[in-house]
Amino acid sequence: MAAAKVGMGQLFGEVGQAQQLHKLRAQLEQLQAENEQLKTGALDERTKAALEQQVEELTAQLARAGGEHEIAVALIESDPNQPRTAIADPIVRERAVSLQRHGQKTPIVLFPPQMNGRYALFDGEIRWRAAQSIGWKTLRAVIVPHTSDEVQKFEGQIVTGIHSQKLHDLDLANALLHLIGMQHSHLRERRWEIPKILNTAFRRLQRQGKHLQLAQIRSAPEEEQQQWIETVGFKDAQEQAVFATLLRLQLNPITINNVVFPLLNLAPDLKQAINAQGLDASKARELNRLSSQQLDVGESEAMSIRTQATQQVLEQKHSLNQVKELVEQLISKYSPKSHSRDSAIVKFTKTVRQLDVQTIANLQDLEELEKVLQEKLAQIEAWRNQQDT
In the predicted structure, residue 272 carries a pLDDT above the cut 70? yes
Residue 51 has pLDDT above 90, yes or no: no
Find out whether 77 and 117 touch, Cβ atoms under 8 Å.
Answer: no
Q: What is the mean pLDDT of the chain?
A: 79
What percent of the chain has a predicted confidence (pLDDT) above 90? 35
Question: Distance between CA atoms of 85 and 89, rounded to whole angstroms?
Answer: 12
Residue 5 per-residue DSSP state: B
For residue 101, count CB atoms less than 10 angstroms from its CB and return exposed for 0-12, middle for 13-18, buried for 19 or more.
exposed
Percent pLDDT > 70 in the chain is 76
Residue 34's pLDDT band (cuts 50, 70, 90): very low
Within the chain, strands assigned E span 68-72, 76-77, 108-110, 119-123, 138-143
Overall size of the chain counted in residues: 389
Other CB atoms closer than 10 Å to residue 315's CB: what's the count? Answer: 9
Stronger pLDDT, 381 or 195, i.e. the higher one:
195
Q: What whole-number distance in Å separates Cα of residue 312 and Cα of residue 277? A: 12
Which amino acid does the sequence have at 235?
K
- Rounded distance between C-alpha atoms, residue 345 and residue 360, angstroms: 23
Least confident of 60-64, 141-145, 180-184: 60-64
Report the SS3 class of residue 140.
strand
Q: Which residue has the higher pLDDT, 327 or 112?
A: 327
118 burial level (CB within 10 Å; 0-12, 13-18, 19+): middle
CB atoms inside a 10 Å sphere around CB 179: 21
Q: Please compute the mean of the pLDDT values over residues 308-333 and round it to a whole number.
A: 93
Residue 11: per-residue pLDDT: 42
Of 221 and 48, more confident: 221
Helical packing angle, 17-38 and 150-163, nearest 10°: 30
Question: Which of 29-38, 232-241, 286-295 shows the lowest per-residue confidence on average (mean pLDDT)?
Answer: 29-38
CATH architecture of 8-157: Alpha-Beta Complex (3.90)
Q: Are the beta carbons of 177 and 192 closer than 8 angstroms?
A: yes
pLDDT at 7 over 50: no
pLDDT band at 14 (very low <50, low <70, confident <90, very high): very low
Of 93 and 364, the structure prediction assigns the larger pLDDT to 93
Which residues on neighbouring strands pair with residue 109, listed in sequence order? 123, 142
Give residue 68's pLDDT band: very low, low, confident or very high (50, 70, 90).
Answer: confident
DSSP codes of every residue in 221-288: -HHHHHHHHHHTT-SSHHHHHHHHHHHHTT--HHHIIIIIGGGGGS-HHHHHHHHHH---HHHHHHHT
The full set of domain ranges for the chain reads 8-157, 169-262, 269-341, 356-389
Which pTM was predicted? 0.60
pLDDT for residue 42: 41
What is the side-by-side strand order in the sheet with 76-77? 68-72, 138-143, 108-110, 119-123, 76-77
Nearest partner of 232 among 219, 217, 245, 248, judged by Cα: 217
CA distances from 241 to 14, 185, 196, 201, 265 (A): 21, 10, 13, 11, 22
